[in-house]
Chains A and B, each alone.
Chain A
Amino acid sequence: MFIGNIMQKFMISFLLVISLLVNSGLVNAAADLDVNTPAISALKNSMQSRHAQLAAHYASGAIGLTADGLIAVRDATALPLKDRQGINALVAAENNDRNALYKEVAAGNGHPEWQGEVRNIFAGRWIDKAQSGWYFQRDGGWVKK
C-alpha cells in the first residue's frame, strides 16, 4: 500500500507538471507570433525590393491579388511591351517568396500545420491593404478595389 501511495503522489505531480506545460504553451501561442526569424526577414527584404517593380503593374491592372494570398497576371496587354516578357518570371518569383513566407511563419512558430490558415489570413490582409484601383480575385473573378 505504501508503494501505491508513492505511485499516486508521483502521478498527481506528473499531471500537474503536464497541465502547467500545456497552459504555458497555450499562453505563448496566444500572445504573439514571431516574425523576426532570419528566414522571414530575408523573404521580407526580397519582396520589398521586388515591390518597386510590381507596384506599377498592380496600378495598371496588369497583375492582381489572388484569393489564396498570391499574385497573378490579370491583363498582360496593360503592360508596356518591354515588360511583357519578364512578367511571368516576376510573378513566379513573388509567389515563391509568398509561399515560403507562409510556410516560415507557421514553421517558425512551431506549427507547420498552420500554413494554410496563415495563408488565408495573409490573403485577406493583402487585399485590405491594397490601394484603390488595384485588382483582386473574389469568387473566381477580378474585382477592382
Chain B
Amino acid sequence: MIADRFWELLSKKVFAEANEAELKEFEELLLHRSDWKNTSEILALLAHQSQPIEKNNESEQAFEKHIERLKKTDIDFIGLYPEDHQTIVEEERSSKFTKWALPIGVLAIIVFIFLIIKNGIVRSDNTTENQPPLSQVTTKPGSKTQIQLPDGSIVWLNANSNLTYDKDFGKTLREVKLTGEAFFDVVKDHAHPFVIHTKVIDVKVLGTQFNVKAYPNEAYTETSLIRGSVEVTVKNRSNEKHYLKPNEKISVANNMESETAGVETHSKPLILTETLTYYHADSTVIETSWVDNKLTFQENETFRQVALKMERWYGVNISFADEEVAEIRLYGSFTSETINQALEALHEGFGFNYKITGNNILITK
C-alpha cells in the first residue's frame, strides 16, 4: 500500500497539486526507497515534455470547413492584415497553384533578367529616377524634432536618430524605418496597420502611443507602450511574436549571437518584458520623459549608460578615465539645465570629477 501512496504523491508533485505536507512525505518515502528515485525523475521529465505541434491535415480541412460555417453567420470574418488573409486564400488555391508554378516561374526569370539589363543601363546613365522616392528625417546629437506623417500620425524623433518612409506610405501598410529613438502617436486605421522596422525587431500597431528605442550602440532595442496594444516581431528569432499591454516594455538584445558565443555582454536576458519605470520624484514615465524635454535616468542605470544618453542629449563626447566610475549608478532628471549644470549636479550627488574641453568631457575619480 505504501507503493500506492508513492504513486499518488508522485503524480501530485509532478503536476503541482501537492501541498507542503505531501511534498515532505514524498521526500521521506524516497529516502527509504532509493530505487524509486530514477522512476520519479523519468516520469517528471515525461510529464513536462511538450508535444511539438505537428501539421495535421484533418484539422486543416476541418478549419476550412469551420470557416465556411463561420462565413454563413453574420459575424464578420476577414483577417485585418492582408497577409493573414492571403495565407488562407493561398492554401485554398494550392492545387491550382502547382499547375501554373512552372510557366510563372519561367516568366519571372525572364522579367528578372530584363530588369537586370535595364537597371544596368540606367546605372550607367547615372540616373536614379527609378528608385522609390524616400522621405527621410535625421536629427543630430543634441537636437530633437517632431514630424507629422501623411496619415496624421505624429512622431517625436529623439537626438541622433533617423526615420525613413517611402512614397507608398499608407497605400497598404504604413511602414517606416527607424534607427535611434522615437515616440509615436499613431492615428487609428484598422485597414492600414502601422509598422516600424528596426534592425532587430518589427513593431506592428493599429493605433496607439508608444516609444521605440533602437540605437545601434546600445545593448537593447526597447519598445514601451503607453496605451493601446502593439505586436513586436523579433526578426532573428524566426519571427517570434510578443504582445505588449499598456505600461509594459519589451527589451530585445541587439546582438543575439552573444548567446551562442557564450560571451556575457548582457546582464539581462536576450528578450525581456517588464513594466515601465517611473521616476520616483514626480512619477514621470522614464522611457518617454524625453518627449517632455526631460532627460531622466533611473536608479539602476550605470554612469556608462547614462553617458550615452547625455552624449545624444547634449551633443557631446564623454569618456571615462576610470572604469570604476563608469560603473557607479546614477539617477536624476534634467530639463533646461546646460551640460555644465547637469555635470555639476551629478558631481555633487555622486562624487566624481570631470574636465570639459570644448565638446569633450573626461570623467575621472
Chains A and B belong together in one complex: no
Interface residues in chain B, defined as those with a beta carbon under 8 Å from any beta carbon in chain A: none
